[in-house]
């Protein structure tokens, strides 16, 4: 059994939010629910400063805080490492939304579209979501499993890879089996450039980031100036 993981290369990411949109489209998430989102931060002080775009989503932690607080067992970690929510069990208490240190969980409060009435697309897309339950990124589980059934390799074959990964305009996202030492994600995690959000936190995210490696150059200021 694989242990799915993701690597997001911040040296490649330009913060375009293409992943956020690919996720909205693939998963048909209702308004306000962005399983994957892109935050933008500034690091440093003028002129030695850089803008850091940061895609954030469910980290599919090995020790998920959300799973620990869930009273119903709706949140569970599958054998392949995907943290998923069973929308038939969730009672919508939102303890997990608050417990997640990454802000990756969303409560689907009411069946409402982006406009006064649901558009044709929204009618079609929102079917899989259950009002009154909590939702979040599931590593495109359905897509990955359908791909596996067809003998495809997640992270390599488009049809078996999460939408945010194969769509990324800067080729900055990688998906694969962290238990396979030769997978791209494993190699990247071992590259020395990888880190996890909230270092020292016991949750142990399975979504890793690669450092942008930016030098905070003095922004056009010479030594001694």
Task: Report the site for another protein in 158-217 (rule: CB under 8 A).
Answer: 158, 166-172, 195, 197-203, 209, 211-217
Q: If phi over 0 gives left and psi between -120 and 50 gives alpha, with beta otherwise, what is residue 102?
A: alpha
Q: Which of 112, 131, 141, 145 touches another protein by CB under 8 A?
A: 131
Residue pair 177/3 in contact (Cβ under 8 Å)? The answer is yes
Query: Contacts with another protein in 76-115 (CB under 8 A)?
Result: 89-95, 97-109, 114-115
Binding residues for another protein, total number by CB under 8 A: 111
What CA–CA distance (Å, rounded) separates 2 from 96?
25
Query: Contacts with another protein in 8-67 (CB under 8 A)?
Result: 10-12, 14-18, 20-22, 24-26, 31-32, 34, 37-54, 56, 65, 67
Residue 154: CB minimum distance to another protein, A: 16
Residue 128: CB minimum distance to another protein, A: 12
Residue pair 133/97 in contact (Cβ under 8 Å)? The answer is no
Of 77-85, 119-127, 145-153, 182-190, the segment contacting another protein by CB under 8 A is: 119-127
Of 77-85, 118-126, 141-149, 179-187, the segment contacting another protein by CB under 8 A is: 118-126
Q: Compute CA distances 163 → 89, 168, 178, whole Å.
A: 26, 8, 19
What CA–CA distance (Å, rounded) separates 87 from 60?
17
Radius of gyration of the chain, Cα coordinates, nearest whole angstrom: 19
Residue 170: CB minimum distance to another protein, A: 4
Q: Which of 1, 120, 151, 192 touches another protein by CB under 8 A?
A: 120
Residue pair 131/83 in contact (Cβ under 8 Å)? The answer is no
């Amino acid at each position: 059994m694989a242990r799915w993981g993701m690597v997001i290369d911040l040296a490649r990411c330009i913060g375009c939010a293409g992943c956020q949109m690919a996720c909205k489209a693939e998963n048909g998430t209702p308004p306000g629910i962005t399983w994957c989102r892109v935050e933008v931060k500034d690091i440093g002080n003028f002129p030695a400063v850089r803008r850091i775009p940061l895609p954030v989503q469910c980290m599919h932690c090995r020790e998920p805080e959300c799973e620990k607080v869930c009273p119903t067992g709706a949140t569970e970690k599958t054998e392949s490492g995907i943290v998923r929510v069973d929308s038939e069990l969730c009672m919508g208490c939102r303890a997990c939304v608050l417990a997640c240190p990454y802000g990756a969980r969303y409560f689907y409060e009411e069946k409402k579209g982006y406009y006064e009435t649901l558009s044709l697309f929204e009618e079609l897309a929102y079917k899989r979501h259950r009002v009154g339950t909590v939702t979040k990124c599931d590593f495109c589980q359905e897509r990955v499993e359908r791909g596996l059934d067809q003998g495809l390799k997640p992270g390599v074959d488009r049809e078996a890879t999460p939408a945010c990964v194969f769509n990324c305009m800067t080729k900055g996202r990688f998906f694969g089996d962290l238990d396979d030492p030769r997978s791209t994600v494993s190699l990247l995690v071992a590259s020395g450039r990888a880190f996890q959000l909230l270092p020292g936190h016991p949750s142990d995210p399975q979504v890793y980031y690669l450092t942008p490696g930016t030098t905070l150059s003095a922004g056009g200021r010479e030594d001694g100036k």
